[in-house]
Amino acid sequence: MDEQPVVTSTPADDSPPVAPPSRWRLFMDRRAGGLPGPFWWLWLGTLVNRAGTFIQPFFVLYLTGPRGVSVRTAGVVLTLWGVGSLLSQPLGGFLTDRFGRRPTLAASLAATAAALAALGVVRGLPAIAALGFAVGTVGDMYRPAATAAIADLVEANNRERAYALQFWAINLGFSVASVAAGVLLHLGFGTLFVIDAATTLSFGMLALRFVPETRPDAAPDQQSARLADPLRVLRADRLLLAATGLMLVYAVLYGQVTVVLPLAITHSGLSASVFGYVVAVNGVLIVVLQPLAIGRLERVPRRTTLPAGLALVGVGLGATTFCDSPWQFGASVVVWTVGEIAISGSFQATIAALAPEHMRGRYAGALGLAWGASGLIAPLVGTTLYSVSPTLTSACFLAAGLLAAAGQYRLLGGIDRRQTAQGR
């Protein structure tokens, strides 16, 4: 008798088919997917901190209002704050590489909270000036630590997106702060000082609790890191020097938003309130458009987006002095805001690509030196040019934006060549 073939049956797969991801899930994955948990704690801390940033924008009103200080004297105090800001990030960069990312984040934010609280209590002008300088000095010390920690935590191909999300948190928080401060101001400046200090301290506590230490263990010069290192690396690394110089050009241009833009608006016969409405366009566009742009910008080479963004900033600000109506000023703001969105995250990603792992804090501090210096240079440049000729002002802004774009294109090519030579 022939053997009958044995027929085996495969049980039917009764599991339900996997549904394709929704559009919302795809949208979120392109923008927020692949980023580690500690990054999101840094993101949340940044948002909380910036949402409580009440004192710096309103400090001149506090001085000339409740404290009864003259406008000129208030200018001196604000300059001391600016000098402190100039020192803040290079100092933070040194501390980041010498003692670690996490301790620098926690200590600098706690010191800022203490200085803000003290500033709201003291009444004598010398004490106010000294504490203003102190707040300026410690207020941005955390930035190189945050920049270095993100570079340590996030893979290279995701860093620009991570820094762009961090930039979005800064702007979203500042938008919340601008509205909240107007509502809370009737409770008195004391309330603003308390909330600003509390949100700053909250960021430090989040960093201390949820952000791990990421400083490399075997850095050859950690123990010999010195306070002047952010300046030394500028002399030693020509690409870093070029990146910092381009950052300074951009920051001085961006500083004209609060210098030349209001002058041009009032010179056109419009009320000062128009400035508030026009600047609000910038905040709304960033909050709304940046999340939409993040996924798309990531697919475009940085050598395209960063120079294009710098050029748009120059064009938009260069058009300012030719505007006559609120709509024209608003259109110019749209142009340089699109450029700002294209740039967001790129400078920090560029520095992360340049810096050796054990020097990421000092490289970020060197870049931050340019931003701090712009706070002192931008008002002088803007007012001097505008007093000579509004047309000359626009021509200089346009030229600066285009030259910075060309310089950035060459710089990124140099960085690519260095990484190829180093096998990175």
Domain boundaries, the chain: 35-157+175-216, 226-424
pLDDT for 300 equals: 82
Tally of CB atoms within 10 A around 185: 14
Q: Please tell me the distance from the alpha carbon of residue 268 to that of residue 324, in angstroms, as a whole number.
A: 6
Burial class (CB in 10 A: 0-12, 13-18, 19+), 209: exposed
The CATH architecture that domain 226-424 belongs to is Up-down Bundle (1.20)
- Mean pLDDT per 10-residue section of the chain, whose length is 424 residues: 50 56 66 86 95 86 88 88 92 92 96 96 94 95 95 91 91 86 85 95 95 79 65 87 94 92 90 84 89 80 90 96 93 95 87 88 91 90 92 95 96 88 73
Predicted local distance difference test score (pLDDT) of residue 320: 94
CATH code at 35-157+175-216: 1.20.1250.20
Distance, in Å, from the CA atom of 5 to the CA atom of 183, rounded to the nearest integer, reads 84
The pLDDT of residue 330 is 94
pLDDT score recorded for residue 174: 86
Q: Are 414 and 239 in contact (CB under 8 A)?
A: yes
What's the rounded Cα separation, in Å, for the pair 241 and 227? 18
Residue 135 in tokens: 């707040």
**Residue 249 — φ and ψ, nearest 5°?**
-60, -45
pTM above 0.75, yes or no: yes
**Contact (Cβ atoms closer than 8 angstroms) between residue 339 and residue 313:** yes
